[in-house]
Amino acid sequence: MTPTSKSATGTEPGIRRLPVTEDRELFARFPLALALHGNDGTVRVNDHYSACFEPADFETGTLRQLLETPGRGWRTVSLRSRSGDTAEIHAQSTNLAAGTLIMLADDIAAARDPELDHLRRRISELEKASATDHLTGAWNRAHLNRVLESELSRSLRFRQPLSALLIDVDHFKQINDRSGHQTGDAVLCEVVELIQRKIRSADLLFRWGGEEFVVLAVSTRYRDAHILAEHLRELIAGHLFPHGAPVTASIGVAEHNIREDVQSWFSRLDAALFVAKNGGRNRVVTDPRGNSDSWAVDPAPVMSLVWRDSNGSGHAQIDAEHRHLIALANTLNTAESAPPAVFDAAVSTLLQALRGHFAAEEQLLETNRHPQLDEHRRIHTGLLRKADELREAGGSLAAGEARRPLIEFLVNEAVARHMFSKDREHLLHGPAT
C-alpha cells in the first residue's frame, strides 16, 4: 500500500481529463485563449488558442517564462499569431495540481471582464474536482502523491515532524453486504465528515481507496499523532450512524524518518495498521520511530523563511504584506531565548500583522466574489484561535523549549504553510486586481 504514480484505475494522466461533456466544452469554448501544460509535458489548448496563435512551444521564449513564473498577475508579452505577425497580448499563468494553466487575452479589459468571473470560478472548481474523491469530498490518492514531496521537503527543511495516520473502517464489507452499498457509501461520507471536524485546517485528509483514508498531520510527532488517532477512533466508535449499527475503525500511525524514502515510511504505516486490525480492530497502533526523537537530541540552527518571486500572488499589497510577515516570523524564530518582554513583543507584533493581513485578504476575496471566501475565513479564524490558545497556555513566558510550540505554529503554520499553499491556491484562482 505504498504511494505510486498510478491511480486506482490505471495511469494518472498528466493533464486532467475534464470529467463530463459540459466541462470539456467549457475549456474548449472559453472566450479567452487557454493552454494547459501538464506536469508530464503534454499540452492541451482550447479553440480560441488554436484559432489565434501558432502551436504552443513551451521549451523556449515567452511561454517558458510564463511557466517558470506563475502567479504574477496579467503581463504584456509577445507571441506569434496565426497570421505570422508578433502580437502584444496579455497573459497570466496559474499553478494547478495537474500542471500550469496559461490564459491569453487581446486586451486587458477583456481579461478583467466581470462576465468571465463565473467561468474562471468554474475552472477553479474543476481543478479542485480533479484532486478530490467524487464520493466523499476528501482529497484523492493522486493528490496525495502530488503533495507528499512538498510536505516532506518542508518537514526536512524546517525540521518539523510529519506524521501519517492510515484509517481503515472495520468490517466494511459486512456493512455493504448487510445494509447495501448506498449505506456503505453514506458511512464513508460520514466518517470523512467526522475526521474533518477533528483535524486541524493545516492537516490533510485523503481517501486512499475503498474504506481506507490517510491523514497527513503536519508539524506533529508520532506521540501527538497517536493521541489524535485515539480521538478519531473514539469519535467514530461513539457516533450514531444512520443505519443504526455501530462502526469502528483501526488506525496505524507512523512519523517520517529522515533515513527512509516515502515507500519505506508508508510500509511502516501499513504494518502498524496490520497489527491494529489483527489485534482485534477498533484500536490504534503507532510505530515509535521518527525524526522528532533524533531532532530533539540533535538541535540544528534555526532556518529562516525566504521570499522568492515565485511565491508572489500577483497582488502588490498582499505580496508586500507576505514579505513583511516573513520578516516578523524570522525575528520570532530567533527569539527562543530572548527576555520574556522581548519575546512577548515579537509575538504580539506578528499576531497583529497576521490579523490585519487576514482582514485584507478576506476583503480582497469578497470584492472579487471568490467562491472560497468562507473557507479562507474559516482557516484564518482557526489559525488565530490556535495561536491564542498556545499563548494562553504559557508559550510566551518561559525561555527555551517551552516557547517552541508557539514559535513553530506561528512561523511554520500561520505564516509559511498558509502563505505558500492556501494563499496561493485561493488568490491565484481569483479575478485579477
Distance of alpha carbon 323 from alpha carbon 255, whole angstroms = 32
* Amino acid type, 362: E
Amino acid, single-letter form, for residue 149: E
- Residue positions counted in the chain: 433
Bridge partners, residue 76, by sequence: 90
Sheet-wide strand order for 284-286? 204-209, 212-218, 162-169, 249-255, 284-286
171: which 3 cell numbers? 468490517
Q: For residue 328, how far is the Cα from the chain centroid?
A: 24
Is there a catalytic annotation at residue 425?
no
d(CA 283, CA 401) in angstroms, rounded, equals 32
Helix/strand/coil (H/E/C) assignment for every residue in 105-141: ECCHHHHCCHHHHHHHHHHHHHHHHHCECCCCCCECH
**Cell numbers standing for residue 127:** 481543478
Nearest to 291 by CA among 266, 267, 268, 259: 259
Beta strands in 288-415 (DSSP E): none
Encoded amino acid at 400, one letter: G
Q: Of the listed 12, 151, 211, 413, which one is catalytic? A: 211
3-class DSSP assignment, residue 376: helix
Catalytic residues: 211
